[in-house]
Amino acid sequence: MRNALLAASRSTWLRERATRYRFVRRAVTRFMPGERLEDALEAARGLGAGRMSAIVTCLGENVSKPDEAAAVKRHYLEVFDKVSAMGLDVEVSIKLTQLGLDLSRDLAAGHVADLARRAAGNRSRLWIDMEDSSYTDATLDVYRGLRPSHPSLGVCLQSYLRRSQADLESLLPLGPSIRVVKGAYREPPDKAFPRKADVDESFFRMSARLISAEAIAAGAWTVIGTHDPVLVDRIQARAQAVGVARDGFEFDLLYGIRRDLQAGLAEGGWKVRVLISYGSQWFPWYMRRLAERPANLWFVVRGILAS
Ligand SMILES: Cc1cc2nc3c(=O)[nH]c(=O)nc-3n(C[C@H](O)[C@H](O)[C@H](O)COP(=O)(O)OP(=O)(O)OC[C@H]3O[C@@H](n4cnc5c(N)ncnc54)[C@H](O)[C@@H]3O)c2cc1C
């Protein structure tokens, strides 16, 4: 089922049809407050009441024209302006292929540099999502090139990739900001661990390394991007064992997923940030959310029955 949903996420045919149905659009609202930036920022404001911050991302990937990439950059500059005007603690996460990586690495890197500068002006961070493994090298190259002059820049690493532990070690001398996630794409077994237990262990090892005294002394900032309560418990226990304070790193979770865990973490004094997606290009992203938990398909079925 996971593979079928991930294959579906790349189907233009299905995207064009599925997004027309109201019951599909209704099911999507479980994971995003709305398609407009304003919807995301209103939701971000609401999170503040529960002592949680937000990170926003405008859905979309693989643009094919330089003008489209430039428009995405302009949009995100506007996001930083609005966030600043509203006085919110909101970070931004981008995809390099949405900023033109398929056209030219330099083009995408130039846009990222402009956005990272703007993020720094807001005393905020700009995060680079990690896409499928055909982009890992390019993404890390862009990060390595920009991080020394843009300390506001962070990057995501996926624990399901066999290479990620080594990538993490190679990034540590930069004092990086790293978001650890399990990984959301369909990858072959020579690249990614097929067994969940190995993905989870790799996640824990990477997180433990990032909150080690050595990594923190090097300037590393850690974001734990998961809804997995077992990993959350293990990482909290490790942080306490090595004397890392509750605000010495951050848990990031996706809007609408495990709200109970989000609230519990915030109430317990841990730093929590919720990633809110918006925009009209939600189809591949939504298919990846279904693939993470095929039981989510039930919400689509309920929508069909109700319509
Ligand atoms: C802040 C953040 C940023 C991310 N950025 C990236 C990125 O840049 N690149 C990338 O490849 N992936 C990214 N991801 C997605 C990530 O790779 C996983 O696919 C996703 O987080 C699900 O894995 P999990 O760690 O929650 O663990 P899982 O073992 O998949 O899930 C643990 C538990 O969480 C709940 N859960 C998880 N997913 C869902 C869901 N879709 N619906 C309902 N319940 C669910 C269930 O209760 C499940 O038992 C990001 C995730 C987060 C939280």
Q: Convert the pLDDT of each residue in 192-219 to its tens digit.
A: 999 999 999 999 999 999 999 999 999 9
Which of 27-41, 178-192, 242-256 is the least confident region? 27-41
Ligand 1 binding pocket includes 56 (Cβ within 6 Å) = no
Q: Which atom of ligand 1 is nearest to the CA of 182?
A: 17
Q: What is the pLDDT of residue 306?
A: 62
Q: Which of the four pLDDT bands, split at 50, 70 and 90, describes residue 305?
A: low
Residue 269 vs residue 285, higher pLDDT: 269
Given its phi and psi angles, is residue 60 left (phi above 0), alpha (psi -120 to 50 degrees) or beta? left
Q: What is the pLDDT of residues 105-114, one digit of tens each?
A: 999 999 999 9
State in Å: Cα 149 to ligand 1 middle: 31
Query: What mean pLDDT comes out for the span 11-31?
Result: 78
Q: Does the pLDDT at position 250 exceed 80?
A: yes
- Sequence-separated (6 or more) residues with CB below 8 Å from residue 194: none
State in Å: Cα 66 to ligand 1 middle: 31
What are the catalytic residues? 129, 179
Ligand 1 binding pocket includes 155 (Cβ within 6 Å) = no
Q: What is the pLDDT of residue 30?
A: 84
The CA distance from 277 to 254, in Å, is 9
**Ligand 1 pocket mutation pick from 92, 93, 159, 257 by most atoms within 8 angstroms of CB:** 257
Closest CA to 297 of 307, 286, 283, 282: 286
The CA distance from 149 to 96, in Å, is 18
State in Å: Cα 252 to ligand 1 middle: 10
Q: What is the pLDDT of residues 216-237, one digit of tens each?
A: 999 999 999 999 999 999 999 9
**Ligand 1 pocket mutation pick from 254, 275, 297 by most atoms within 8 angstroms of CB:** 254
Which of 26-40, 97-111, 207-221 is the least confident region? 26-40
Average pLDDT, the chain: 93
Ligand 1 binding pocket includes 297 (Cβ within 6 Å) = no
CB-CB neighbours of 285 under 10 Å? 20
Indicate the residue type of 82.
Answer: K
Helix or strand or coil: residue 62? coil
Ligand 1 binding pocket includes 261 (Cβ within 6 Å) = no
Q: What is the pLDDT of residues 123-156, one digit of tens each?
A: 999 999 999 999 999 999 999 999 999 999 999 9
- Sequence-separated (6 or more) residues with CB below 8 Å from residue 269: 246, 247
Residue 275 vs residue 6, higher pLDDT: 275
Ligand 1 binding pocket includes 198 (Cβ within 6 Å) = no
Ligand 1 binding pocket includes 147 (Cβ within 6 Å) = no
Q: What is the pLDDT of residue 190?
A: 98
Ligand 1 binding pocket includes 181 (Cβ within 6 Å) = yes
- Sequence-separated (6 or more) residues with CB below 8 Å from residue 143: 128, 153, 155, 171, 176
**Ligand 1 pocket mutation pick from 293, 297, 300 by most atoms within 8 angstroms of CB:** 293
The CA distance from 137 to 155, in Å, is 12
Ligand 1 binding pocket includes 293 (Cβ within 6 Å) = yes
Q: Which of the four pLDDT bands, split at 50, 70 and 90, describes residue 303?
A: low
* Most confident of the ranges 19-28, 43-52, 235-244: 235-244
Q: What is the pLDDT of residue 17?
A: 77
Q: What is the pLDDT of residues 53-94, one digit of tens each?
A: 999 999 988 899 999 999 999 999 999 999 999 999 999 999
- Sequence-separated (6 or more) residues with CB below 8 Å from residue 228: 182, 200, 203
Instruction: Please give the share of the chain, as a percent, with pLDDT higher than 70.
Output: 97
Give the angle subtended at the CA of 145 by the CAs of 143 and 148, to the nearest 5°: 90
Indicate the residue type of 87.
Answer: G
Write 159-163 long-range contacts (CB < 8 A, 24+): 159/183, 159/199, 159/200, 159/202, 159/203, 159/206, 160/187, 160/192, 160/193, 160/199, 160/202, 161/133, 161/136, 161/187, 161/191, 161/192, 162/190, 162/191, 162/192, 162/193, 163/136, 163/191
Q: Which residues pair with 93 in a beta bridge?
A: 127
Indicate the residue type of 96.
Answer: L
Distances 39 to 46, 104, 131, 281, 284 between C-alpha atoms, Å: 11, 32, 25, 15, 20
Q: What is the pLDDT of residue 307?
A: 56
- Reported pTM: 0.93
Q: Tokens 């989000």 appear where? A: 262
State in Å: Cα 208 to ligand 1 middle: 19
Query: What mean pLDDT comes out for the span 4-28?
Result: 78
